[in-house]
Amino acid sequence: MLCISYQPDEKTCVQFAIKVAYFLLSALSMIVCILAVAFAAYSYSQISQFSCETALETCQCKLDTVDPLSRTFIYEDISDCTEITRTFSLYLLIQIVLNLLAAIVGFAACFVMWKDRYQVFYVGIWLQSLTAGVQQQQKV
DSSP string, 48-110: HT-EEEEETTEEEEES-SS-TTS-EEEEES-S-HHHHHHHHHHHHHHHHHHHHHHHHHHHHHH
User: Band of the pLDDT at 29, cuts 50, 70, 90?
Assistant: very high
Domain membership flag for residue 7: no
CB-based contacts of 121, cutoff 8 Å, min separation 6: none
What is the distance between the alpha carbons of residues 46 and 122, in angstroms, rounded to a whole number? 48
pLDDT at 11: 64
Domain membership flag for residue 136: no
pLDDT at 135: 52
pLDDT at 9: 57
What is the distance between the alpha carbons of residues 22 and 33, in angstroms, rounded to a whole number? 16
In the chain, what percentage of residues exceed pLDDT 70? 74
Domain membership flag for residue 31: yes
The number of distinct structural domains making up the chain is 1
Least confident of 17-31, 34-48, 121-135: 121-135
pLDDT at 93: 96
The residue segments making up the domain with residue 18 are: 13-130
Domain membership flag for residue 70: yes
| Of 37-41, 81-85, 117-121, highest mean pLDDT | 37-41
Domain membership flag for residue 6: no
CB-based contacts of 114, cutoff 8 Å, min separation 6: 23
pLDDT at 39: 96
| Residue 90 burial (C-beta neighbours within 10 Å; 0-12, 13-18, 19+) | exposed
pLDDT at 133: 53
Domain membership flag for residue 8: no
Domain membership flag for residue 112: yes
129 against 86, higher pLDDT: 86
